Amino acid sequence: MNHFSPYPFVRYTLFLILGISLYNFFPSFNLLLLSGLGIGILCIYAFLYIFRQKIRNPFLTGIVGGLFLIFTGYFLSFLRTEKNSSQHYSHQIGKFEYFEVVVDNLVEEKENSWKTVGVFRSIVSNNSILPVSGKILLYFDNKTIEKPKYGDIFFIKGNPHEIASPKNPEEFDYQKYMIRQNITHQQYLRVENCEKVGNEPPDVLINFALRINAHADSILTTFVEGKNQYGVANAMILGQRDDLSNDLMQAYSAAGAIHVLSVSGLHVGVIYAVLLLMFGFLKKRGKIGKYGLMFLILGILWFYAFVTGLSSPVLRSTVMFSIFTIADIFKKYKNGYNTTAFSAFVILLFNPNFLFNVGFQLSYLAVFGMIHFQPKLNPLIVIDKKKSLFHQLGDRIWKVTTVAVAAQIATFPITIYYFHQFPNFFILANPIVILLSSIVLIFGLAYVILASIFLYFDYTTITYYSGQCLKYTILWLNETVLFFEKLPYSITKFLWVSTYEMWLLYGLIFGFIALWKTRRFVWVWINCGIVSNLILLNILGNIQRKDQELLTILSTPKHTAITLIEGKNALLLADKGFLNSRKDIGFRVNNYWSSLGVRDTLKIDLLEKYNSANNMVKVESMDSIAVIAWKDKTFLLISKNLKHKDLKVKTASFDYLILANKSVKDLNQIIGKVQFKSLIIDGSYTRWYADKLSTQAEELGLKYYDLSRGGALQIE
């Protein structure tokens, strides 16, 4: 029996995904040969289909059809990779003096800049204007340049820089993340090297969506008071997380509720579920009622997509739930697997790169978990909701809980793989957080609509008090999340699974599903084999990590940071700014610690007066000088511009001299005054000074290491 027969689009989507994945591993292929191969497969499939009655081999037809879908996935990936175009600007890097771009995305506010995406229109090379294509990441100095708008055209001097690869072990690969969005280069712009020359929105629809987004943001900014309350409203309703503090985001992460702060399938699903609950009765009112329900749901879902500025996550989810709605109305929603696979198939045809988006992966895995596991979990506790309102509430809470657990079962391997932590109280927190966040989302979306009407008729008082209600609802949500974060052992950190182990975990989940469905003993042996493999890998990892001793000088812009590992213990030596930044530690260090199996951590401020010795390291620091003794190696850190008389250290010679924060701008200031074997130029140096010192070190024949170019330095 073919178990895939009832789910044709599951098969089609898997073949398409295989083709997209093949392009990811083997991107170089002759276009002419690729086109010929595709035409050949299509002809064979057409022949088999036309003569299917005579050949009578559906398996062969299916295989050829699968090969064609694999080719389709590969070919679409090739076409959607913009740098494959001969007109892409990356082929001209270093050959032009000026270029023209148009702002093609929402503008985000960063600490010192406006961040957005630009699309190339032309370049100026050898006094000739050449049309080019491609996207670039733009950072505008927000102290000298006013906030750009969608459609603004800028004439820019200079050549873009390639987005840097990760500089620290296991650091998030921002370069690869941007390449998936067809962005390979970036440019930081000051007022002297760019000029606004016009405004021509590239897309009328997106321009309209961004205007709606800006209007909604102005309402929330004016009437939702409190930084955290406004930040959550802005994130949940409009999809902008610029105003969220790192501490609040960490609290949501610890409660297992970080997903509510990113506009995604959850938000669209909540709106979809509420609309069905409120207007589902229209299904029973004949064709007019059904079509009315369909247009109502589609209208509101797409309105929400426009409110978020047609952001990619909401756009994907809106397409998915639009397909669910249409399939349900036309009675094609016979099984959730096929409908879900069809929506993924459509989205991947539009943009194959969505396959590698974490939000896309989590959304579809969560939907699969809810479709498969929730109906099996729900009957475990039967509540007669007809008895009382209390029983009805209990039944609703239990259903939300089973939905959360079902989604967690399907997503926990990939969640640990990407985020290296697990919220221990998610089963308690999620029902409450989902309920409150749903209220915030529905109330907030309705508020944006009604406030626009109230303000039009000058009903400012009603708008204000409605905003206060939204504010306190968000405050209630935030306090709930903070409560769960403060619970002991609220989160398990430093979890690590390799890609192979992640696939083993999914193999185990699939094995249990197959065992449940087939009741065959062979699946017991397969599951035992997978579990044994996971246990063996864990034992070998623990043995390897038991005696590990590492010192790593991290590459951290504007900061100095050193991490030492001994067994499963980690010590972080850094300046106060780095130690106080959860964002920097999370981005630069936590993944590395997780990969090394760290369980216990200690942090020390390098730049304050400190004298400490333990089994791992000896540190002596005063103001801006630190002497570090680790194993048989010594390090001298200078982090402030000092005169010779201020440089007072007991040791005359060091293995490594670390220069930070432009403490030395010319090596002649330090040569002869302190002896060292290797020079390390810290990542806190600006590019110009780091290059200057590197050139001097080469001329003097010194052994040196530039962290901002070469990345972190690991010493064993």
Q: What strand order describes the sheet that includes 633-638?
A: 610-613, 618-622, 625-630, 633-638, 653-659, 675-681, 703-706
CA-based nearest residue to 440, from 670, 312, 274, 631: 274
Three-state SS for 87? coil
Tell me: pLDDT of 363 over 90. Answer: no
Cα distance between residue 315 and residue 265, in whole Å = 9
pLDDT in tens, 644-676: 455 666 666 888 999 888 888 888 888 777 888
Q: Is 207 exposed, middle or buried (0-12, 13-18, 19+ CB in 10 A)?
A: middle
Please report where in the chains the tokens 């004016």 appear, as a residue: 222
pLDDT at residue 547, as a whole number: 84
Q: Are 584 and 566 in contact (CB under 8 A)?
A: no
Local confidence band at 206 (pLDDT 50, 70, 90 cut-offs): confident
User: pLDDT tens digits, residue range 676-706?
Assistant: 889 999 988 888 888 888 989 898 888 999 9
Contact call for residues 100 and 45 (beta carbons, < 8 A) = no
The amino acid sitting at 530 is I
Dist. CA 383–CA 381, nearest whole Å? 6
Q: pLDDT (tens digit, 9 = 90+) per residue, 400-412?
A: 788 888 888 888 8
Quick: pLDDT tens for 436-458. 888 888 888 888 888 888 888 88
What pLDDT was estimated at residue 334? 57
CA distance 610 to 617: 13
In whole angstroms, give the CA distance from residue 250 to residue 232.
Answer: 13
Q: How many Å apart are CA 555 and CA 633, to the nearest integer?
A: 20
**Calpha distance 43→65 (Å, rounded):** 11
Residue 28: pLDDT over 80: no
- Strand-pairing partners, residue 71, are none
Average pLDDT over residues 83-93: 88
Average pLDDT over residues 598-626: 75
- 217-223 mean pLDDT: 87
The whole-angstrom separation of Cα 621 and Cα 646 is 13
Nearest to 61 by CA among 51, 75, 72, 71: 51
The pTM of this model reads: 0.85
Tokens of 632: 């048989």
Query: Which of 473, 471, 362 is CA-nearest to residue 408?
Result: 362
Number of H helices, E strands in the chain: 24, 23
Residues 636, 677: Cα–Cα separation, whole Å: 11
Task: Give me the mean pLDDT over the 278-288 stretch.
Answer: 78
553 pLDDT band, cuts 50/70/90, is very high
Please give the pLDDT value at position 1.
44
pLDDT score, position 47: 66
Across 96-107, average pLDDT: 88
The confidence score (pLDDT) of residue 526 equals 92
Q: Give the count of beta carbons closer than 10 Å to the beta carbon of residue 129.
A: 12
pLDDT, mean over the chain: 83
235 closest CA partner among 58, 69, 481? 481
Pairing of strands 152-157, 194-199: antiparallel
Angle at 513 between CA 511 and CA 516, to 5 degrees: 110
Q: End-to-end distance of the chain based on CA atoms, in angstroms?
A: 57
Instruction: Name the token pair of 414.
Output: 């990939």
pLDDT above 50 (res 523)? yes
245 SS3 class: coil
**Stretch 571-578: mean pLDDT:** 88
Express each pLDDT in 232-248 by its tens digit.
888 888 877 777 777 78
- Report residue 555's pLDDT band, with 50, 70 and 90 as the boundaries: very high
DSSP assignment string, 201-253: -S-HHHHHHHHHHHHHHHHHHHHS-SHHHHHHHIIIII---TT--HHHHHHHH
The reported pLDDT for the residue numbered 39 is: 73
> What percent of the chain lies above the pLDDT cut of 90?
16
d(CA 143, CA 149): 16
> Rounded to whole angstroms, how far apart are CA atoms 153 and 433?
43
How far is it, in rounded angstroms, from Cα 291 to Cα 305?
Answer: 21
